[in-house]
Amino acid sequence: MQTRILIVDDEKDIVRALEFLLRADGHNVGTALSGEKALSMLAHESFDIMMTDLRMPGMDGLKLLEEAKKIAPGMTVVMMSAYATVEGAVEAMKKGAVDYIVKPFMNDDIRFTVRRLVEQEKLRSENQALRRELSQHRRKCKEIIFISDAMSAVFDLLDSVTPTKSNILLTGESGTGKGLIASLIHCSSPRADKPFISINCSAIPEGLLESELFGYRRGAFTGANTDKKGLIEMAHEGTLFLDEIGDMPPSLQAKLLKVLETGEVMPLGDTRTRRVDSRLISATNQDLEKMIAAGGFREDLYYRLAVFEIRVPALRERTEDIPVLAEFFIKKYAAENGKSVRGLTEEALDALTAYRWPGNIRELSNVIERAVVLVTGDSISVEQLPEKLRFQMDEKGSSLREAMNEYERGLLIRTFNMKNKNKEATAQCLGIDLVTLYRKMKKLGIEG
C-alpha cells in the first residue's frame, strides 16, 4: 500500500522537486502552496505524512500543524525550514511534529527521513495489531494490561510453556499480578475446561492447610464427620495454584513432594492412595534459594516446582505500563462509582511514573480508586493523589523529578560528547528522534 504524503510550501520549485523525488520512490503525493489549501485538502483526503515549510505567508507552518492535528491527529508531520533554531524545533515538537528538516536539503536526506518514518509507522502498526490480538485472546480469560518489553518477555516464555504439563514457579514482589498470570496460564492451556483450584498457603493455619490440600476420611480427627476431597484431588486433570508457597510448613512440603513424585495423594485417615493428574503452578515473593540455604525450604521440592521459573517484574521495572494500567483502572472505578472521569493531567501522570510503587499494581489500583472517588471534574490531578506521590523527595532533599533530570542531563552530555557532538548520531544512539533531542537539550540547559 502506497504512503500518502502531502507537501506544503509556498515555493513552487521546492514543491515540484519534492513531488518528483517522492513519486519516483513510489509514494502517492499531494501538494499545496499554502497552509489554507493544505487544510482544505486534509478535510477531504487522508494523508499518512505531511511535510510543511515553517515560514509561509498567511498561515505559517506552526499554525498549519496545530490545525492539521485537529483534523488528522494520527498523521505524521515533518517541519521544513531554512531558519533552523532549537527554539523552532522545540515549538514544532510541542505542537506535534516528529522531525525537523533544515533547508537546503539533499535528496538522500529526504529519502532517508521518509523511509524512516514509513518504517516506524509500519512497525508501530504491526506492534499495535499484535498487542491487540494478544490482548483480545487473553481478555477471554482475565484482563492482562501491558505494553512494556519486560512483560512481553514474560509472555513470550509463557507462550512456550503454557501448552505443556510442566510445573511453573512464578516469583516476584507482592502485587505484581502472579495470581492473575496463573489464572491466564490455566485458561490458555489444554486444561482450560477443567478445574482451576487456588489456595494461599500463608492465609490458612498449618493443621487446616493439610486437610484442605489432602482431604480426609470420616473419623480422621475430631469433627471429621464426613469424607472430604482435598484441593489436590479436586484439581484432577486441571490446574492447582499454590500462592505464597514459601510459607508452606516443612511437614507439608514433604507430603507435597511425595504427591509430585508419585502422582498420588492420600487423604488424612485413609490407607489408600488416589491417582491425581494436576498441573502445579506455585508463586512466591520470597527468595526460595536463600530459604533453602537457611533450611527453611526443601531443595528437592524447589526443583520439582521450578521446572519453569518465571520472574514477574515489579511495576517500577515496567513504567511504560503505568499509563495504560492507570487508564484501565480509571475506566473501571469511574464505571463503578458513576463518575465521568476520563483521564489524568500531565502532572498527575508524571507523579505516577516517578513513584517507586512498593505495592506494585495492587497499590496503583488503590491510588486510582481513591482519586476517582475524590475527583469532581473529568481529569485526575495531583491534588487527588496521596501526599507520598505529590512530594517525592530523595535523600538529599531535592525533588525526584530534579534527580531524574540530573541523571538524564548527564546521560545526554556523555552520549553527545561520545558522538563528537553530532546530534543525529546522539539521537540515534539514545533511541529518540532529533526533535526530542533538541527539546531535551534545551530543557536541561545543554549547549550544542
In a domain, 143, yes or no: no
In a domain, 377, yes or no: yes
Q: Are 23 and 29 in contact (CB under 8 A)?
A: yes
Higher model confidence: residue 50 or residue 390?
50
Residue that is last in its domain, among 67, 90, 124: 124
Does the pLDDT value for residue 141 go beyond 70?
no
**CATH number of the domain encompassing residue 409:** 1.10.10
Q: Which set of grid coordinates corresponds to residue 228?
A: 472430604
Q: Nearest Cα to 320, choosing from 368, 363, 353?
A: 353
Higher model confidence: residue 173 or residue 93?
173
Mind listing the pLDDT tens digit for each residue in 221-270?
887 788 889 999 999 999 999 999 999 999 999 999 999 999 999 999 99
**CATH number of the domain encompassing residue 183:** 3.40.50.300
Mind listing the pLDDT tens digit for each residue in 191-203?
998 999 999 999 9
Total number of domains constituting the chain: 4
- Quote the DSSP letter at residue 40: H
In a domain, 277, yes or no: yes
Are 198 and 233 part of one and the same domain? yes
Q: Are 85 and 38 in contact (CB under 8 A)?
A: no
For 241, the enclosing helix (H) or strand (E) is strand 239-243
Instruction: State the Cα–Cα distance between residues 162 and 188, nearest whole angstrom.
Output: 7
Are 80 and 222 part of one and the same domain? no
Q: What is the pTM of this model?
A: 0.59
Of the candidate ranges 56-60, 90-94, 248-252, 361-365, the one whose mean pLDDT is the lowest: 90-94
**Mean pLDDT of the residues in the chain:** 86
Question: How many Cβ atoms sit within 10 Å of the Cβ of residue 187?
Answer: 18
Higher model confidence: residue 98 or residue 279?
279
Q: Are 110 and 103 in contact (CB under 8 A)?
A: no
- Quote the DSSP letter at residue 226: S
User: pLDDT value at position 128?
Assistant: 56
Q: What's the rounded mean pLDDT across residues 340-344?
A: 91
User: pLDDT value at position 418?
Assistant: 84
- Quote the DSSP letter at residue 295: T
- Long-range CB contacts (within 8 A, 24+) of 284-291: 284/169, 284/170, 284/171, 284/244, 284/245, 284/246, 285/171, 285/172, 285/173, 285/174, 285/244, 285/246, 286/246, 286/247, 288/169, 288/171, 288/245, 288/246, 291/246
Instruction: State the Cα–Cα distance between residues 262 and 273, nearest whole angstrom.
Output: 10
In a domain, 262, yes or no: yes
CA atoms within 13 A on the CB side of 136: 6
Does the pLDDT value for residue 46 go beyond 90?
no
Are 354 and 406 part of one and the same domain? no
Mind listing the pLDDT tens digit for each residue in 392-417?
643 333 445 565 677 677 888 888 88
Instruction: State the Cα–Cα distance between residues 212 and 406, nearest whole angstrom.
Output: 55
Percentage of the residues of the chain whose pLDDT score is greater than 70: 90
Give the structural domain span for 274.
149-313
Band of the pLDDT at 8, cuts 50, 70, 90?
very high
Higher model confidence: residue 216 or residue 139?
216
In a domain, 188, yes or no: yes
Q: Could you give the dihedral angle defined by the CA atoms of residues 163, 169, 173 and 175, in that order, rounded to the nearest 10 degrees?
A: 50
Strands 274-275 and 99-102: unpaired
Rounded to whole angstroms, the maximal C-alpha distance in the chain is: 97
**Whole-number Cα distances in Å, 380 to 242, 339, 344:** 38, 11, 5
Q: What's the rounded mean pLDDT across residues 116-135?
A: 64
Are 85 and 220 part of one and the same domain? no
Does the pLDDT value for residue 131 go beyond 70?
no
Are 293 and 155 part of one and the same domain? yes
Are 271 and 287 part of one and the same domain? yes
Does the pLDDT value for residue 98 go beyond 50?
yes
User: pLDDT value at position 73?
Assistant: 80
Q: What's the rounded mean pLDDT across residues 105-113?
A: 84
User: pLDDT value at position 140?
Assistant: 52
Does the pLDDT value for residue 169 go beyond 90?
yes
Residue that is last in its domain, among 281, 313, 345: 313
Are 359 and 381 part of one and the same domain? yes
User: pLDDT value at position 85?
Assistant: 65
Are 182 and 299 part of one and the same domain? yes
Are 239 and 287 part of one and the same domain? yes
In a domain, 376, yes or no: yes
Are 161 and 211 part of one and the same domain? yes
